[in-house]
Amino acid sequence: MTEPQQQWTETIESHHSVFELKLGEVWRYKDLVYMFVKRDFVSSFKQTILGPVWFFINPIFTTLVYILVFGNLAKLPTDGAPKILFYLVGVTLWNYFSSCLTGTSSTFTGNASIFGKVYFPRLVTPISVVISNLMKFGVQFLLFLCFFFYYWYQGEVHPNLWILATPFLILLMAAFALGAGMIFSAMTTKYRDLNMLLGFGVSLYMYATPVIYPVSALSGIWKKLAMGNPLTGIFECFKYGWLGKGDFSALMLGISTLIIFIILAMGTIIFNKVEKSFMDTV
């Protein structure tokens, strides 16, 4: 005699759309976001002697190296802007983007032990990374302002109204890093090799971004390729607004905005899809 087939009386499954960011639910967990931000900020400098002073040391020494190598030895142009300001802008912006990207890319693998024990919106983790790095960016931006006001007083830089676009540019960088990071975090649940590849790729990507050179120094196919880089419009707009230098147009920023919107949408879809079953593979 065969046993009767069992019938499930309850099925627990996610009903949210893959297109949904669930920002309302994230807002309800804002205290958790604050705890993650505090954790990331404190853990960065725990058991260090200088602590937050490293926020200043890192961009200063990096800028000095860029001035020596790319400014004096390679003699790359800076569109007439003071070298220290030109490279400090690039270093400050790049540090924020790269830190956000590498941080969000380990969302699933780095927090699997937490995800497996308690429920909370998984988007809380990458958003907290973006916010904690924004605090670091703010400190380094203050350093940039100190040099900026000095050269402004000397009459060597001429800011314009594009300076008002700064909050939008920071938001675009955060959105780009968040979207790309969510894509990589979803892929690394199955392919751990991507963690190592990402670190190498980010280093190469810096040289494809106008960090150490202006877009005006490029021509032909290289300039067209640079226009396809979402960070190009952001970096050039920032330099043009604050320093009054650079080969910038509103079209360049529009292209960057469109590409970043597409990447963020793709990242949201992939992240929400993998979120439902990543504990089976991580």
Q: Model's pTM, two decimal places?
A: 0.85
**Span 258-277, average pLDDT:** 85
| Segment 160-192, tens digit of pLDDT | 999 999 999 999 999 999 999 888 888 887 777
Q: What are the two backbone dihedrals, phi and then psi, of residue 200, each rounded to the nearest 5 degrees?
A: -70, -40
Number of domains, the chain: 1
Task: Determine phi and psi for 4, rounding to 5 degrees.
Answer: -65, 140
- Contacts of 130 by beta carbon, 8 Å cutoff, 6+ apart: 100, 103, 104, 174, 177, 178
Positive or negative: CA dihedral 188, 191, 197, 201: negative
Confidence at residue 216, expressed as pLDDT on a 0 to 100 scale: 87
Q: Is 279 contained in some domain?
A: no
Q: Is 182 exposed, middle or buried (0-12, 13-18, 19+ CB in 10 A)?
A: buried
Does 63 reside within a domain?
Answer: yes
In a domain, 138, yes or no: yes
* Residue 12 counted as domain residue: no
Summarised one tens digit per residue, pLDDT across range 77-129 is: 998 899 999 999 999 999 999 999 988 887 767 666 676 677 777 788 888 88
Whether 55 maps to a domain, the answer reads yes
Q: Domain for residue 6, yes or no?
A: no
Across the range 47-65, mean pLDDT stands at 78
Is 17 among the domain residues?
Answer: no
Which residues form the domain of 69? Answer: 23-42+49-274
CA distance 93 to 136: 11
What's residue 197's pLDDT?
Answer: 82
